[in-house]
Amino acid sequence: MERELDFNEWLDVAPRSLQTDPLWKSDYYRLAMYLYDLVWLDCEMLRHDYRGKALTSQLVRSSSSICANMEEAYGRGVGTADYIRVMRISLGEARETKGHYLRFRHILPADLIDRRLQLIDQIIVKLVGTISSHRKKLNRS
C-alpha cells in the first residue's frame, strides 16, 4: 500500500498538467484533489471489510464529485449565477463525503478519520467563503 503523503509532499508530486490548470490556483481545488487521492488509499483499507467494501463506491463518487463540480463551475464562468449553483453542489458533495467518513469510523483508524474530517472541514470552509463572496458580488451587479 502506498504511503500517505502530507499536503506539501503531495503538491510536489501532483501531475504537472494539473498544476498548470488555471483552477489549480484555487486552494479549495488543490485540497479537494488531495482529498480524492487520499480516498483512493483509504479504499484499500475499506475493501477488506465487507461493510466498507459495500460503501466505498459512494465515498469515491462523492469525493470525486467535489472536484468535478469545481471544474464544472469554473467552466461555466467564475462569478456567474451558474458558477455559484454548481459550487453549492460541490459543497453538498463535501458534506456527503464527511458523512461517509463519520460512518466509516467503525472500520478506519480514529487518527485517520480525524485527519480526513479536518481536511474536509477546510474544504467546506473555503467553499462557503467562496460561494458567499461570489454571491455578494453578483448581488451588487
Phi, psi for 107 (deg, rounded to 5)? -115, -45
Q: Which residues contact 122 (CB under 8 A, 6 or more apart)?
A: 31
Question: DSSP assignment, residue 15?
Answer: -
pTM: 0.94
**pLDDT tens column, 3-22:** 899 999 999 999 999 999 99
Residue ranges of alpha helices (H) inside the chain are 7-13, 16-19, 27-46, 50-75, 81-103, 110-140
What fold does the segment set 26-140 form as a domain? de novo design (two linked rop proteins) (1.20.1440)
**pLDDT tens column, 106-137:** 999 999 999 999 999 999 999 999 999 999 88
